[in-house]
Amino acid sequence: MKMGTALIYDEEMTKYKLLWVDPVCKIEVPERLTVSHEALIKTGLADRCISVPVREATDADILLVHSEEYLEAVKKTPYMTLEDLQEFTLQYGDVYFHPNIYHCAKLAAGAALQLVDSVMTGKVRNGMALVRPPGHHSMRSAASGFCVFNNVAIAAQYAKQQYGVKRVLIVDWDVHHGQGVQYCFEDDPSVLYFSWHRYEHQKFWPQLKESDYNSVGKEKGAGFNINVPWNKVGMKNSDYLSVFCHILLPVAYEFSPDLVLVCAGFDSAIGDPEGEMCASPDIFAHLTHLLMNLAGGKLCAVLEGGYNLTSLPQSVCQTVQTLLGDPAPRPANLDGPCESALESLHCVRSAHRQYWSCLKHAAELPTSDVTTKRIKLAEEEEDKLKKVEEEKNAEEEVWPEPPKRVAPAVRTALVLPNDVACPDGCKRFSSSEDPVIVNKLRKNFLKDADDSDALTSLSSLIALVEKMERNEICNGLALVPDVSMAMMCVVQHAATALRNRVLVVCVGDAGVSSHGTEDGKTLVVQFSNREPEEQKCKYHISVCLKKGCSDVSGFAQAVLGLLLPLGYEYDPSLVLLARTPDSGLCDSVWQQLTGLLQGIAQGHTLVLMQEAETSCVGPTASSLFGDAAPSLGKLHAPLPEDVEALERLRHRLQVDWKLLQTTAPETG
């Protein structure tokens, strides 16, 4: 099933540059593209992609977003003298023109369209276009912020028109606000635009009031524009992931796009002179991964900004390698969002609570603006002091190069009864019985039963876990006679024999061993419809949903807003995912869960299911193998009692788990 990843690049787009002195524009250089492309070649990633040629966007394509007057004006630039170009440039903000930029701008937009074509026709699953000039700042009748034509906005309109795509999600993780995209789709409910951006209470370019969290869209499009302003620099991995888990993903799943477009700017990475943020390049592996199960995997990433010539290529490689399906690295130091990020999170969630049922329970904003104003003033004082300090030690930011991501030789191994067929591409796994393991199993689990089948399957399981720990196998699936027993057996083995932490996710009403939860070697999260007697400890969490896991919306909400942040913060080296036959979970939800969890523990997931569930082997193996899970469709409102229960649980747990926070301590 797994289809390829398109890579679109053409050297021609390096053939324009700034021809005069302009300190604002000097960072937008041709090398941005060459270093990114060279890094993809050097790492062998380019070779693994399907190379798709660019084309020139036609007038008709460009007119999907821009005015005729503007197009005609830009058309004249190739014939202008240097002086004319300089003067032409003056009517716009933070942009420059060059005799060849019109040609490149047509190729940049055309590259985005080629990508949409490749994905929509099923030629590839997903892809990335490396383009210059970027697009997200350009408006109907104006160039802006290094952008000439709005590549992604054109691509979205094109997808709707050409392929009848009903809903498009645009995720803009560039550090600037793509005001051009916002203006284009403000009143359009078929395009959901999400952007986070450096804002600093409107002090940062483009300094627009409408980049703030309260610009939610207009008329029919109300609720379909999501702005997350960063009011401080230095945002980190935790801040980014937290916004994904508590805003973007719940809304995106509720929206259920048919296509995901990413304004993939990497000026939001560490070292960038524009962003001044501190997220590591490998965070883009996770941002990408978390979007890859939406829209059946149809994801098109189009380059926007990114001006640090070291972190830019690293981030591009992380993105492309994830699109190719390699497991993401374990993200480091997720110590929870900072206070300023929490304040933004809170504001955005409350501004959107009337539009999205997943946010209905979000805390309201403090009634008066007084608190916010007070904080803002205090922050400004603080920032002034910081700036002085920064200028004193204006040293270059340094960070470690992301470690090489090596995909294990075997992606998916299955432990199956002999009469169950092994799906294509996966490896049937059995181990010659290790006497030490067998003895241990006999002693601990199979005292009275002399069931040799059970013994074989359990000892294979243990051997499989060990191979996963050694990174020889990425993930696995086992059909076992007794899920509870197998789970107990793996947990006990892991807690005693492995060095690292195990996240146990149990869907359904099975008995779960609490082995290792005392000292945090295992974190157990169980979903069922049974009210837990008492909430045990930080490492044993029962999520009770009224209809168990059969209510898709409630379950999705629990997974996105609770399980993912817990999993990320816990940072295990193995995820054990088990489900009981009576869990009530349908295949597509199960596949989504399996897919999403692979962002954790470098994709080391071991799935346990009951022997009789043979019909689920195919779908589960497919998700483990890296196929996109089928879309869940538009989600309805979850049951109010579930929402309340989840909220209470999140509230109680956020003392111990910082990534569960959604409000700032002072305002919340």
Q: Is 208 in the site for ligand X5A (CB under 6 A)?
A: no
Q: Between 277 and 564, name the residue whose CB sits nearer to ligand X5A.
A: 277
Among the residue ranges 139-147, 179-187, 315-323, 392-400, the one whose residues contact ligand X5A (CB under 6 A): 139-147
Piece of 25-33, 169-177, 251-259, 314-322 that binds Zn ion (CB under 5 A): 169-177
* Three-point CA angle 531, 535, 539, nearest 5°: 125
Nearer to ligand X5A, 273 or 417 (CB): 273
Stretch binding Zn ion (CB under 5 A), from 171-179, 308-316, 449-457, 559-567: 171-179
- Closer CB to ligand X5A, 34 or 431, in the complex: 34
Under rule CB under 6 A, which residues in 225-284 are in contact with ligand X5A? 265, 267, 274
Q: How many CB atoms lie within 10 A of CB 143?
A: 30
Contacts (CB under 6 A) with ligand X5A, residues 10-49? 24
Check residue 626 for interaction with Zn ion (CB under 5 A). no
Interacting partner of 619 out of Zn ion, ligand X5A, none (Cβ under 5 to 8 A depending on kind):
none
Residue 94 binds to ligand X5A (criterion: CB under 6 A): yes
- If binding is defined by CB under 6 A, does position 174 make contact with ligand X5A? yes
| Residue 659 burial by Cβ neighbours in a 10 Å radius (0-12, 13-18, 19+) | buried
Tell me the β-bridge partners of 225.
193
The piece of 64-72, 96-104, 142-150, 217-225 that touches ligand X5A (CB under 6 A) is 142-150
Beta bridge partners of 261: 170, 300
Residue 561 near Zn ion by CB under 5 A: no
Task: Name which position in 183, 205, 244, 570 contacts ligand X5A (CB under 6 A).
Answer: 205
* CA nearest to 457, candidates 439, 470, 438: 438
Tokens of 608: 């346990």
Structure token pair of residue 652: 């109680």
Q: Which does 239 bind (CB under 5 to 8 A by kind): ligand X5A, Zn ion, none?
A: none
What are 664-668's contacts with CB under 8 Å, separation 24+? 664/339, 664/340, 664/342, 664/343, 664/346, 665/339, 665/342, 666/339, 666/371, 666/375, 667/343, 667/346, 667/365, 667/366, 667/371, 667/372, 667/375, 668/342, 668/346, 668/363
Question: Catalytic residues, which ones?
Answer: 137
Judge contact between 55 and 35, C-beta under 8 A.
no
Q: Which is nearer to ligand X5A, 97 or 205 (CB)?
A: 205
> Among 4, 110, 127, 145, which residue sits at the site for ligand X5A (rule: CB under 6 A)?
145
The partner in contact with residue 94, picked from ligand X5A, Zn ion, none with C-beta cut-offs of 5 to 8 angstroms by kind, is ligand X5A
Residue that has been written with the tokens 């009789």 in this structure: 612
- Identify which of residues 199 and 255 has a Cβ nearer to Zn ion in the complex: 199
Please, are residues 361 and 325 in contact by the beta-carbon 8 Å criterion? no
The single-letter code of the amino acid at 472 is: E
The option from ligand X5A, Zn ion, none interacting with 24 (CB < 5 to 8 A, set by class) reads: ligand X5A
Distance, in Å, from the CA atom of 50 to the CA atom of 386, rounded to the nearest integer, reads 47
Cα separation, 268 vs 275, in Å, equals 5
Q: What is d(CA 476, CA 415) in angstroms, rounded to the nearest whole number? A: 8
What is the C-alpha separation between 502 and 570, in angstroms, rounded?
9
H or E segment and range at residue 172: strand 168-172
Choice from 257, 305, 561, 565 touching ligand X5A (CB under 6 A):
305
CA distances for 11 relative to 64, 107, 115, 130, 366, angstroms = 26, 11, 17, 10, 52
Told to check if 352 binds ligand X5A by CB under 6 A, we report no
Closest residue (Cβ) to ligand X5A?
A: 305
Residues 108-137 that bind ligand X5A (CB under 6 A): 134, 137
User: In the complex, what is the shortest distance from the CB of residue 344 to ligand X5A, in angstroms, rounded to a whole number?
Assistant: 20
- By the rule CB under 5 A, 265 interacts with Zn ion: yes
Residue 383, helix vs strand vs coil: helix
Q: Is 172 in the site for ligand X5A (CB under 6 A)?
A: no
The residue among 493, 566, 528, 543 whose CA lies nearest residue 643 is 543
* Residue 10 or 274 having the CB closest to ligand X5A: 274
Say which entry of Zn ion, ligand X5A, none residue 10 contacts (CB below 5 to 8 A, set by partner kind).
Answer: none
DSSP state string for 64-106: TTS-HHHHHHHHTGGG--HHHHHHHHHTSBS----TTHHHHHH
Residue 254 sits in the site that holds Zn ion (CB under 5 A)? no
Closer residue to ligand X5A in complex, CB, 145/329: 145
Judged by CB under 6 A, the stretch of 143-151, 185-193, 219-227, 633-641 that binds ligand X5A is 143-151
Q: Which residue number, 175 or 558, has a Cβ lying nearer to Zn ion?
A: 175
Rounded to whole angstroms, the Cα distance separating 595 from 629 reads 7
> Which residues contact ligand X5A by CB under 6 A?
24, 94, 134, 137, 145-147, 174, 176, 205, 265, 267, 274, 304-305
Residues that bind Zn ion (CB under 5 A): 174, 176, 265, 267, 305
